Amino acid sequence: MKCLYLMLLTICMGLAGCQHVSPHLQQPAPQPMMDAYSEPVPASFSSIKQQRPVIALVLGSGGARGYAHIGVIQVLEQNGIRPDFIVGTSAGSIVGSIYASGKNASELRDIALNMKVGDVREITLDKKGFFDGKKVEDYVNQQVNDTPLEKMKIPMYVVATELKNGTETIFNKGNTGQAVRASISIPSMFVPTKIQDKEYVDGGLVSPVPVEVAKKLGADIIIAVDILAQPVHTETTNMWGLFNQNINIMQNRLAHEELKHADIVIQPELYEKAHIFDVKEREATMQAGARAAEKKLNDIQTALELRQTELQAQQR
């Protein structure tokens, strides 16, 4: 059961009690930002560059370890560091979307500590998986007050994987909960999320810490939070452990390359958790995120000052 719980990843991430989304509310399905990488920097980011560096917060995948993202956000918030946009994969898409909607770190913490198993988990009988993910979608929409991605207070980009072609897709408009549902849909566990006749699965398959997305969107400073499980700490004496280890090795390889392009990498000291719904474990994981962020504050300030000087020199 330990490994099965761990594999539930993002649905257990740390969200509060579920209320059903109003049945009359109809939101457009998320539209893939298919040519995001070829488009110029968004106008809003260009205007920011005239004043200061554009800061991107990149929140990676990692299941229950995603509670650590909240601790990181708390420390950044306390030190006046606010991202201009957020890019999230899997667990990072849940925390990032709720934060982007206007919730502060304290509210995120309360949401995490009050989440219950039944709020986000349901079992279904389907040949493509045994979790449907609809409860996650509804839950996230309830937490963000049904705010679509394009109306977030902080621009939010959710990374998912298009199943048929295995391509990275970035959602930045439409139904927030549905985009997150796509981003957390672990193949063979979750039924793929269908959006406009295409099926999407976990964004962590192609970009577990999506630094490249932030870079191509025009970030001057990229703060990346890496919460991936380290293979050395994974139990491999059983089938589930071996399954986890295969994923861990793959994701760490992918993340290693992307993290080279981050200005700041925050890596909380995290290990596999015994029970993802254990409140004490949630608290400890958030604290690990906060400790790791505190250690990087001087580096963040140095990077900001250096980039500010560079931008001023370019404008002369």
- Split at pLDDT 50, 70, 90, the class of 181 is very high
Side chain identity at residue 296, one-letter code: K
Q: One of 84, 119, 132, 202 is an active-site residue; which one?
A: 202
Alpha-carbon distance of 47 to 29, in angstroms, equals: 29
- Report if residue 230 sits inside a domain: yes
**Could you give the CA distance from residue 70 to residue 290 in angstroms, rounded to a whole number?**
8
pTM, rounded to two decimals? 0.84
Question: Is 4 among the domain residues?
Answer: no
E strands present in 80-239: 85-89, 123-126, 129-131, 156-162, 167-171, 193-195, 198-202, 221-225
Give domain status of residue 66, yes or no: yes
Residue 32 within a domain: no
Q: Is 90 a catalytic residue?
A: yes
How many domains, in total, are found in the chain?
Answer: 1
The domain containing residue 97 runs over which residues? 54-313
Tell me whether residue 220 is one of the annotated catalytic residues.
Answer: no
Query: What distance in Å separates the CA atoms of residue 293 and residue 110, rounded to the nearest whole number?
Result: 20
Q: Choosing from 90, 97, 101, 183, which is the catalytic residue?
A: 90
Average pLDDT over residues 167-186: 92
Answer whether residue 278 shows pLDDT above 70: no
Residue 46 covered by a domain: no
pLDDT tens per residue, range 73-100: 999 999 999 999 999 999 999 999 999 9
269's tokens: 């000291």
Question: Is the pLDDT at 115 greater than 80, yes or no?
Answer: yes
**309 phi, psi to nearest 5 deg:** -65, -40
- Which pLDDT band holds residue 311 (cuts at 50, 70, 90)? confident
Among the listed ranges 5-14, 189-198, 253-262, which one has the minimum average pLDDT value? 5-14
CATH code of 62's domain? 3.40.1090.10
Confidence of residue 240 (pLDDT cuts 50, 70, 90): low
How high is the pLDDT of residue 296?
A: 98
Q: Are 67 and 136 in contact (CB under 8 A)?
A: no
Question: Residue 31 — very low, low, confident or very high, per pLDDT cuts 50/70/90?
Answer: low
